[in-house]
Chains A and B, each alone.
Chain A
Amino acid sequence: MKWIDDFRRLLDRLRKEEPCGAPDAESGISCGEAVERLFEWLDGELDPKARKEVGVHFEVCARCYPLVMFEKSFSEALARLSPGEGLPRELEDRILSSLGEEGFTER
């Protein structure tokens, strides 16, 4: 698939840009290490130490900034989705009625 080729090119380029995978002085981790954990960082799934390292790296790294903003705004766009498909009133009535048949009391 074409995008896999694109991805390989991107990785090659990242490697060339980071010849020794050098970590930045503030966070102690490299761009590659930070970007690998980008989704976990955005999802709030990293342990406190890793969260801090990755967060500090993204704060100080101009190279990572555009990718972080891109992924962040994608996550925010999904979280903001307003499906416009609230619970139909008749469904709520149906559910309460069938629960009533099982012995459930509303109040």
Chain B
Amino acid sequence: MTEGEKRDRSFREEALPLMEAVYRFSLRLTADPDRAQDLTQETFLRAYRNWDKYTPGTRPKSWLLTICRNLFLRKEERSRRHAEIVSEIAEEDPRQISRESTVFQAVRDRDPEGEFWARVVDDVVLRAIGELPSVFREAVVLSDMEDLSYEEMSKVLDVPVGTVKSRLFRGRRILQEELYDYALSAGIVEGNPSRPVSDRGSPGRVK
């Protein structure tokens, strides 16, 4: 087997099976199926051209998602705004954020088993994820949908692990509040005046 054949074989076995994951991530980044297809295609072209730089034995998923995200950021010319947002949230303590569940405070009395989330349907959750500010959306998608570790996310997002935690924890909290507001407006939960949650939604309880 020639070097070229070996290279193609490892690309075929390690990178190509991740086409769907890269497309999913592209969809979350672009929120547009046509642009997501273009981004996925470009990611694989770039990955193939640079396959020699991939370290065998490491997880190709985070490597591909890094390429995907970098292409997206460059195309969007969002780096400057992105850096501004990063500087704002980088100082927050992720441990403190992990305690901030106002939605839990609102539903706890009537939902001891945490069934609240099962009532919110998938497309609503996906839409709410799509509406998260991009730094939080990336973190939630990479961790909760693509199952990357904090260390892998740190590489993909090119930020310290502490910042990964801040973004992820804050992103989850924002998402919970968005979904809770939806649940109130859709009548999935009822208002409860004693437990306010956010400025937008009236407080509530699980039916």
Contact = CB atoms under 8 A, between A and B. Distances in A.
Contacts of B8: 104-105
Residues of B in contact with A, size category: 35 or more
Given A3-B177, A70-B114, A95 B11 contact: no
Nearest to A96: B16
B198 A3 contact: yes
Interface residues of A, number: 51
Contact of B99 (A35, A77, A85): A35
Chain A binding surface SS class: helix
Interface string B94-119: 11101111101101100111111110
A83 B4 CA distance: 36
A45 B149 contact: yes
Contacts, number: 147
Contact of A77 (B11, B12, B125, B147): B125
Interface of B: 4-5, 8, 11-12, 19-20, 23-24, 27, 33, 37, 40-41, 44-45, 48-49, 94-96, 98-102, 104-105, 107-108, 111-118, 120, 122, 125-126, 140, 143-145, 147, 149-150, 165, 168-169, 172, 176-177, 196-199
CB-based closest 10 A-B pairs: A73-B114, A69-B114, A78-B144, A77-B117, A70-B114, A87-B20, A36-B95, A3-B102, A7-B100, A6-B102
